[in-house]
Structure 1
Amino acid sequence: MPIDAFVTGAVETALNQLIKDDADSQRRLTRLRGKVISVKLNEFNKTMYFVFSHQIDVLAGFEGEVDCQLALNLSVLPELRQQANLTQLIKADKLALDGDLQLAQHFSSLLSGLKPDFEDKLSEYTGDVVAHTLVSSVKSGSRFIRQGIKNRQRDLAEVITEEWRLLPQPLEMMHFCDQVDDLKSDVARFEARLNQLLER
């Protein structure tokens, strides 16, 4: 099975299952019925086509007319779930949009409403106590990892600026910027004075 078909099949199955479990998402889907949105992931140079009907069909190729084209990096995908971020992402050149902005907003609204309840799904197979314990452990583990990464970044920044002196400290940088501003003001005053002398 080609990797494209596997990825699109997995995305399609996950989205349709989440929509089936949520009445609000089914209502949001009706606003997109009959439309086609393409989403290009820049890093992989791959495009997925979302064809909306009573469900979502996710395709690796599409011959017909596309109503809205989105191009973005994989890291931007989580931000796409928040409808208010769309215009900011476009202005920041993180998202390229060709077509109907309102359609993209409806798509974003649909994605934002999809909140998988892993604990509930897992409890069908393992029971409530085991599912709760596993999900809680994963959440606390991910918080621990995020905090560890944040601490390492802070430590590395301190080592680079304090010990290795590879980068200036923030106060040194601010002082340098102030000196540059003072120099620009002095040059502007000198230029104005020189022009006055030349006019005489």
Structure 2
Amino acid sequence: MKSLSLIPWMLLEKLINELLARDPGSLQRRQKLVGKSLRFDIKELPFELTVSIDEYGLRLTTVSEGETDCWLQTELGVLPELSDSSNLTRLIKAGKLDIEGDPMLAQQLVALIKELDIDWEAELEAKIGAVPAHWLSQIWRKSRQQVADSLQQSQRWATGVLIDEKKILPARIEFEQHKQQLQQLRAKIERLERQLREDS
């Protein structure tokens, strides 16, 4: 049985439930999960994490005893992808996900957290006042956009280097040409094999 000190999980549980309380829409999403429990065996963690949902919020524990409605073995980076049901088959085939029980519960739980919609400006305004809150929100939006723009530029640069300059990755047209050449070669081989069988 994998287990760990309760203190960090109590703090994380408190944080998650406070965030859920700040999103009015989360109550409806949480209602679908009330009374359910899910166990996560995450590759990067040395323990299993059990999440139970009741009318008051989420409960976290590292004690892995007892039955659960859904058990998942996966990686941290895969968790956000679980909210889209179209990803499940691909992840299972790729060996990145093993699941027992109702997979819909995992999707609903991930969506509950992933779709949090909190008015941070209003939260800040209640703490520090309207003007500073608006100023901080503007800075956050600009910095987030700058990070997104930088990531896009880096991706375009890397693609250009790999395809155009270093020729590490084939361009799409080169790939299609190579595929066509292979098909033609296969057809020639099949014709030669038929001729050899006929001659013999």
TM-score normalised to the size of structure 2? 0.79
Q: What does 1:44-193 align with in structure 2 at a 5 Å threshold?
A: 44-54=45-55, 55-80=57-82, 82=83, 85-93=84-92, 94-193=96-195
Post-superposition offset of 1:50: 0.8
2:25–2:117 contact (8 Å) kept in structure 1: no
Percent of paired sites with the same residue:
27
CA contact (8 A) 1:72 1:96 kept: yes
Amino acid in structure 2 at the alignment position of 1:44? L
Compute the displacement of 1:87 (Å).
4.6
User: How far apart in 2 are the matches of 1:166 and 1:102?
Assistant: 40
- Output one character per residue of 1:131-187: Cα deviation in whole Å (capped at 9) or x when no partner: 222223222212212221221222123223333344444333332222111111111
Indicate the residue corresponding to 1:13 in structure 2.
14
Q: Which stretches in structure 1 are left out of the alignment for 5+ residues?
A: none
SS at match of 1:39: strand
Give the distance between the partners of 1:72 and 1:160, measured in 2 at CA. Answer: 31
Return the offset for 1:76: 2.4
Which runs of 5 or more structure 2 residues have no equivalent in the other structure? Answer: none
Moved more, 98-107 or 142-151: 98-107
Q: Which residue pairs with 1:36 in the alignment?
A: 37
Residues in 1 aligned to 2:165 and 2:69: alpha-carbon distance in whole angstroms:
55
CA deviation string 1:94-142 (max 9, x = no partner)? 4322112343344345335532332222222122232222223222212
Give distance in 2, aligned partners of 1:172 and 1:34: 55
Amino acid corresponding to residue 25 of structure 1 in structure 2:
S
C-alpha RMSD over aligned residues = 2.8
Give the letter for the 1:37 counterpart: L
| Cα shift readout 1:61-120 (whole Å, capped 9, x = no counterpart) | 24222221122222223233x3xx135224332432211234334434533553233222
Give the count of matched residue pairs.
194
The DSSP-based 3-state class of the residue aligned with 1:13 is helix
1:18 Cα shift?
3.1
Partner letter of residue 16 of structure 2? L
